[in-house]
């Protein structure tokens, strides 16, 4: 076993690499790090960073991994964490793009990851899926829980971890040991990743039902029926909850009681999850268009056309919107006008969503590469 020590920005990493390619962080403080620790960046799934940054129009580096990547990465402690469809969890230096190690799994990892304190949570797919807790300080699995197959992102709130499965169950588990706390059960798949606000969990199901659940008990606060299945993960503003549906609609509901405020019809099913700012909603559709919609009125502000369906969820950073398309291109458009600022061609479809970390944008493509863009 060989040790590699490096220092960056006052954070010291000790990388332990062996035949199993274990990875550990030493003497790091992930709590104070300005991390992107979940699928959409925060518990509300907003996909929004207010900070204006130098335009990240330059490819800084790309790293080829061992298989296709559909998962959106998370970044913390100057490390990018990615789950692959080759039964591996990858660890990559966020600044240089150097591969630091990987961890072999018995399951593919198509879901999104979640970092809380010094633990990395993720789920797997298969006949018997699993929920994993990886200890980043010790470089090992802390625990794993055999559950049904899942493509939904785990969500950690205080002492609980929540996970939806393809059998229609939403589990609430103790985050330190994986012991069950409560369970919400329906008959349809849960592919949408939940959002959280003011004690409530919000999520959609493949049968078109959308629920607000009490986080402590799993009880239903309210429910709403869309016209088709919901794969899009919800985003929450101050008073509204927003999501797309396979019926092509973008729905805006009252967060407190589930009443419909407005809906907007696109020309294709929606797999993309919305990004929400103070005044606007951004979302992609299978019609190949990215939409900007007024948050209050539901009025269309602009739309931007690509050549293929958009499953990638947009990321809003300052004055710009970033997203990928199944045409393999990564786009940056101006937030206020929808004007194209630049685009970058990858060699595979882009279903993952871009993430932001320390003025850089990270993106995975199904060509098997992790890309980093900056100034």
Q: pLDDT for 329-369, tens place per residue? A: 999 999 999 999 999 999 999 999 999 999 999 999 999 99
How confident is the model at residue 87, as a pLDDT?
Answer: 81
Cross-strand bridge partners of residue 343: 331
Does the pLDDT at position 62 exceed 90?
yes
How confident is the model at residue 91, as a pLDDT?
Answer: 93
Does the pLDDT at position 185 exceed 50?
yes
Q: Where are the domains of the chain?
A: 2-374
CB atoms within 10 A of CB 144: 17
Cα(136)–Cα(91) distance, integer angstroms: 11
Does the pLDDT at position 40 exceed 50?
yes
How far apart, in Å, are the Cα atoms of 207 and each of 41, 211, 245, 282?
27, 12, 10, 24
Banded model confidence at residue 32, pLDDT cuts 50, 70, 90:
low
How confident is the model at residue 20, as a pLDDT?
Answer: 43
How far apart, in Å, are the Cα atoms of 229 and each of 128, 154, 225, 312?
24, 20, 9, 18
pLDDT in tens, 296-309: 999 999 999 999 99
How confident is the model at residue 13, as a pLDDT?
Answer: 32
Lowest mean pLDDT across 8-22, 26-40, 51-65: 8-22
Cα(297)–Cα(308) distance, integer angstroms: 28
How confident is the model at residue 85, as a pLDDT?
Answer: 77
Per the CATH hierarchy, to which homologous superfamily does domain 2-374 belong? YVTN repeat-like/Quinoprotein amine dehydrogenase (2.130.10.10)
Q: If you search the block for the tokens 């990851």, which residue do you land on?
A: 113
pLDDT in tens, 68-111: 788 899 999 999 999 887 888 899 999 999 999 888 877 666 56
């Amino acid at each position: 076993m060989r040790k590699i020590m490096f220092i960056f920005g006052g954070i010291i990493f000790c990388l332990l690499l062996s035949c199993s390619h274990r990875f550990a962080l030493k003497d790091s403080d992930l709590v104070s790090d300005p991390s992107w620790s979940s699928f959409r960046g925060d518990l509300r799934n907003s996909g929004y960073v207010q900070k204006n940054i130098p335009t990240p129009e330059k490819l800084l580096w790309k790293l080829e991994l061992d298989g296709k990547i559909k998962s959106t990465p998370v970044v913390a402690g100057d490390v990018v964490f990615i789950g692959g469809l080759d039964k591996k969890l990858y660890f990559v230096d966020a600044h240089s793009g150097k591969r630091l190690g990987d961890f072999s799994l018995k399951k593919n990892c198509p879901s999104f990851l979640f970092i809380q304190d010094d633990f990395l949570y993720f789920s797997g797919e298969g006949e018997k899926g699993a929920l994993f807790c990886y200890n980043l300080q010790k470089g090992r699995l802390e625990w794993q829980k055999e559950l049904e197959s899942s493509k939904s992102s785990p969500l950690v709130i205080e002492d609980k971890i929540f996970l939806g499965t393809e059998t229609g169950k939403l589990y609430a588990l103790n985050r330190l040991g994986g012991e069950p706390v409560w369970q919400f059960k329906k008959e349809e798949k849960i592919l949408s990743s939940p959002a959280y606000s003011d004690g409530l969990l919000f999520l959609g199901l493949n049968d078109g039902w959308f629920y607000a659940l009490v986080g402590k008990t799993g009880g239903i606060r309210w429910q709403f029926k869309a016209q088709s299945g919901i794969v899009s993960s919800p985003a929450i503003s101050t008073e509204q909850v927003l999501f797309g549906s396979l019926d092509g609609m973008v729905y805006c509901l009252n967060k407190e009681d589930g009443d419909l405020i407005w809906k907007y019809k696109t020309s294709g099913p929606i797999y993309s999850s919305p990004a929400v700012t103070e005044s606007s909603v951004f979302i992609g559709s299978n019609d190949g268009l990215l939409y900007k919609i007024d948050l209050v009125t539901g009025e269309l502000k602009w739309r931007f056309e690509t050549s293929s369906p958009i499953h990638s969820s947009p990321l809003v950073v300052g004055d710009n919107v970033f997203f990928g398309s199944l045409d393999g291109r990564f786009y940056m458009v101006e937030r206020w006008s929808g004007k194209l600022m630049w685009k970058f061609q990858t060699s595979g479809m882009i279903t993952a969503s871009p993430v932001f970390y320390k003025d850089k944008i990270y993106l995975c493509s199904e060509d098997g590469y992790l890309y980093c863009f900056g100034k």
